[in-house]
Every structure is written in C-alpha cells, then in structure tokens.
C-alpha cells in the first residue's frame, strides 16, 4: 500500500499517482503522538442493485482532521488489497472525518478534486465545460465515517455504497425492422453533475447529457444499452410550469432520448420517467422498435414516450404515447 496524491482533471494521465508524505503528524522517527488502528472496508448493495458488480478495483482513503485539512491519504490498487480488506493506519489522537472512494479511473468522464481542497469541497464531478459525457467508466462507491482516535487498537468498519445509478434499455424489434436500422443512440438527461463525498450531496448546476453504451444482448437476447450516471433529483423542481412543455415533461424527474435511424430518417423517442433514478438503483426500460423508428415501452415503470418522427436538430413536433 502506498501514500499517494492524484491530480485534478486535465492531468495528462487523468490521475497522477506519486509518492507523498502528508501532514499526518506521524513522523517515522517519532511515533509517540500516534496511535495504530485498523479499518475494514466493504461494499454493500441493496436489493435494487443486482446489476451492480460490487467489485472494488482501487480504493482512495481520505482522513481529515477537525480543521477539515487532509491529515492522511492512501491509495491502493486491487492487486495490493488484503484479502480481508483490513488496513492498519497510524494517526495522531484527534477527531476525524473519513471517507473512502472505490473505482476512480483515469479514463472515466468523472474526475476527483485535488487533495488540497477542504473536506467539504471534495467532490467527484464532470469537467466543468462538458455538456455531453460518456457513461461512467466504472461503478463508483463511497463510504464515510466520523470517529475519534483516543487509544490504540481501535477498529472501524466503513461501508461503501454506490453514488451512481444505472439505466439499462432493452430493445426488441418488430418483424423485419432490425435489418433496416442504421443506428440507435441513447442519452440520459436531467441527472446530477457532481457528488460531494463528505456530506453525500449531489450537485445539479447545469444540464449534462450522459451517452449510453451499447453492450450487446441481455440474457433474453434483447439489444442492451446501458449508462452509469449520477442520480436524478428525487423530487420535481419547484416553479411555474413552462408553457411549451407537456404534462409528461413537467412530471418527469429525468428522461432518456433514444434516436433510431432508419434509411435517411431519424426518429427521436423521449422516454419521460416520473420515478426517480436513485443512487444504487438500476432502472430497466423495455421497448419494441416499430417500423417507423418509434418505440413502444413496457409497463414496468411510470413513464411516457414523446415521439418525433423525421426528427432533425431543432425539430419539436412530438407525438405522446
């Protein structure tokens, strides 16, 4: 296990890992002010998260003292993880706010704050200039714990849970339609843009679209598209209804745009979902693609579809189903 630092977004490799001696107060030649304690990390998934792997490929451990300053940080990759996920740490006697993050990857659309920021400002977020991002490259898990180090041989258990949600689109086709389809693209809208790790608060500062990834076929042979994203809001935003929006749009907490290309025409299917997309939850949308590119969705969730035939950028002629 090694003490490291990783850079902000924009660093060439995405995350810069380098040897770092942080201000833990535990100096190699003077350990008198330090106490040893052990921390065990584990991932827990809810019954709604069967599609999540629960796998931990790397782990960032952050320990902040009472001044919100980083007292200690360690990074470990999967190959270096102990079998029992128990780590021995040495820190001075103090009050600490600890959080741990699993699976930050350099190739992901999500970056982490610089280690220099105070604990309440540390977040996982998209690039501030991005308006469309690919599906997250990994399942992100975060755990947090407050504790005080008062004596030696303390034991702490930290439970990590998903801070992201999953959307899966399962598509079947009318007879003869599949062969005529040029392409299908899916996008998830109206989800959070960042996550403050210490306080478990999501940021909704601007619209960002998350592109779904085609992942082959599901267990029933249906075409499968998937997106890992931050969750949606869990309640509708307050304010007067917009005059140019339908009832379905007003009631929707988030939506998925699915563009079906057949010949030289594109049909846009906007699936408005009234139930929230929650962290740790997988929402499965089932649909059948018709000959005109429209999608008829199943009744497994509270949703409606607005269909735009012969869609072109800027077009706004919708047919609700």
For residues 242 and 177, give the distance between their C-alpha atoms in angstroms, rounded to a whole number.
37
Tell me what pLDDT residue 153 has: 74
Q: Are residues 15 and 157 in the same domain?
A: yes
Tell me what pLDDT residue 66 has: 83
Q: Are residues 67 and 38 in the same domain?
A: yes
Single residue among 127, 162, 197 that ends a domain in this structure: 162
Q: Are residues 86 and 220 in the same domain?
A: no
Q: Is 308 exposed, middle or buried (0-12, 13-18, 19+ CB in 10 A)?
A: buried
Q: Are residues 219 and 127 in the same domain?
A: no
Tell me what pLDDT residue 285 has: 96
- Supply the pTM of this predicted model: 0.85
Q: Are residues 61 and 204 in the same domain?
A: no
Q: Are residues 268 and 221 in the same domain?
A: yes
Single residue among 134, 162, 190 that ends a domain in this structure: 162
Q: Are residues 226 and 137 in the same domain?
A: no
Domain that holds residue 298: 165-320
Q: Are residues 228 and 131 in the same domain?
A: no
Q: Are residues 157 and 34 in the same domain?
A: yes
Q: What is the CATH number of the domain that holds 26?
A: 2.60.40.2100
Q: Are residues 84 and 53 in the same domain?
A: yes
Tell me what pLDDT residue 16 has: 32
Q: Are residues 158 and 257 in the same domain?
A: no
Q: Are residues 158 and 177 in the same domain?
A: no
For residues 242 and 24, give the distance between their C-alpha atoms in angstroms, rounded to a whole number.
53
Tell me what pLDDT residue 47 has: 83
pLDDT along the chain (321 residues), means of 10: 38 31 44 78 89 95 90 94 92 92 93 92 93 95 92 87 97 94 97 96 95 96 97 78 66 94 95 95 96 92 91 58 40
Single residue among 162, 197, 225 that ends a domain in this structure: 162
For residues 314 and 287, give the distance between their C-alpha atoms in angstroms, rounded to a whole number.
25
Tell me what pLDDT residue 31 has: 53
Q: What is the CATH number of the domain that holds 217?
A: 2.60.40
Q: What's the total number of domains in the chain?
A: 2
């Amino acid at each position: 296990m090694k003490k490291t630092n990783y850079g902000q977004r924009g660093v060439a490799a995405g995350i810069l890992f380098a040897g770092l001696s942080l201000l833990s107060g535990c100096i190699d030649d003077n350990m008198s002010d330090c106490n040893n304690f052990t921390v065990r990390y584990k991932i827990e998934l809810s019954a709604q998260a069967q599609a999540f792997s629960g796998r931990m490929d790397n782990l960032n451990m952050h320990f902040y003292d009472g001044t919100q300053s980083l007292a200690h940080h360690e990074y470990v990759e999967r190959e270096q993880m102990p079998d029992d996920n128990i780590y021995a740490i040495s820190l001075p006697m103090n009050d600490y706010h600890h959080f741990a993050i699993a699976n930050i990857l350099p190739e992901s659309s999500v970056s982490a704050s610089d280690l220099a920021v105070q604990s309440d400002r540390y977040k996982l977020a998209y690039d501030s200039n991005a308006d469309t991002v690919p599906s997250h490259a990994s399942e992100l898990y975060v755990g947090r714990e407050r504790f005080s180090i008062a004596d030696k041989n303390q034991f702490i258990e930290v439970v990590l849970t998903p801070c992201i949600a999953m959307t899966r689109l399962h598509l079947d086709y009318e007879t003869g339609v599949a062969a005529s389809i040029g392409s299908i693209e899916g996008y998830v809208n109206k989800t959070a843009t960042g996550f403050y790790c210490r306080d478990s608060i999501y940021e909704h500062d601007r619209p960002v679209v998350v592109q779904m990834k085609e992942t082959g076929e599901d267990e029933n042979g249906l075409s499968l598209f998937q997106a890992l994203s931050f969750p949606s809001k869990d309640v509708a935003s307050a304010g007067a209804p917009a005059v140019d929006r339908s009832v379905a749009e007003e009631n929707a907490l988030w939506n998925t745009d699915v563009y079906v290309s057949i010949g030289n025409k594109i049909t846009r299917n906007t699936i408005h979902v009234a139930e929230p997309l929650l962290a740790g939850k997988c929402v499965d949308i089932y649909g059948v693609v018709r000959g005109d590119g429209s999608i008829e969705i199943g009744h497994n969730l509270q949703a409606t579809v607005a269909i735009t035939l012969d869609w072109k950028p800027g077009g706004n002629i919708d047919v609700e189903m």
